[in-house]
């Protein structure tokens, strides 16, 4: 049975063997992250509606590029459950391992969301569908 997060005006399902970290939300920042047993993570952050999703995604890429200068970033657009998401697919090396990450942003009537997920490549290939299911549950469970 999946676990469910329901706070900050959002809800999403996540695997019950993943660890929820809501320290940011408890500190007043509108962000929550869940971690897989293998170290992968999926995170969602809420921003004011006036925040441009494209600029938000670009800013996230620049922050990542500051950490990983040789990172590859490919622009991405996709539609999920009737919502248009913009963002980037990222590839980079960390601790001699290749990693894949995705940044997806969208603007709704009440909030702009950033969804970020990342894993070492071998784990990413195994759990990419879990990341997508979590994102789908979030988009189904929010009144954007």
Query: Quick one: which of 117, 109, 112 has its CA closest to 135?
Result: 117
Q: What is the pLDDT of residue 27?
A: 58
Grouping H, G, I as helix, E, B as strand and the rest as coil, residue 56 is helix
Over residues 65-97, the pLDDT tens digits come to 998 899 999 999 999 988 999 999 999 887 777
Within 10 angstroms of residue 119's Cβ, the number of other Cβ atoms is: 23
Rounded CA-CA distance 84/28 in Å is: 28
Predicted confidence band at 20 (pLDDT cuts at 50, 70, 90)? very high
Domains defined along the chain, listed by start: 3-140 (3.40.1000.10)
Q: What is the pLDDT of residue 144?
A: 60
Rounded CA-CA distance 124/117 in Å is: 9
Q: What is the pLDDT of residue 91?
A: 92
Answer whether residue 26 shows pLDDT above 60.
no
Indicate the pTM of the whole model: 0.91
Over residues 94-141, the pLDDT tens digits come to 777 799 999 999 998 889 999 999 999 999 989 999 999 999 999 987
Over residues 44-55, the pLDDT tens digits come to 999 999 999 999
Going by the DSSP 8-state scheme, the letter that residue 11 receives in this structure is: E
Q: Which position has the higher pLDDT, 118 or 143?
A: 118
Q: Using an 8 Å Cβ cutoff, are 18 and 33 in contact?
A: no
């Amino acid at each position: 049975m999946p676990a469910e997060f329901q706070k900050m005006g959002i809800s999403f399902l996540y695997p019950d063997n993943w660890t929820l970290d809501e320290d940011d939300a408890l500190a007043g920042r509108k962000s929550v992250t869940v971690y897989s047993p293998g170290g992968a993570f999926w995170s969602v952050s809420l921003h004011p509606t006036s925040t441009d999703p494209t600029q938000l995604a670009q800013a996230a890429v620049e922050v990542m590029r500051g950490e990983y200068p040789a990172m590859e970033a490919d622009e991405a657009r996709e539609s999920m459950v009737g919502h248009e998401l913009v963002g980037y697919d990222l590839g980079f090396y960390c601790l001699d391992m290749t990693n894949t990450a995705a940044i997806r942003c969208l603007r709704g009537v009440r909030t702009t969301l950033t969804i970020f997920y990342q894993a070492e490549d071998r784990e990413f290939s195994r759990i990419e569908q879990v990341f997508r299911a979590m994102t789908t549950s979030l988009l189904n469970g929010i009144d954007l």
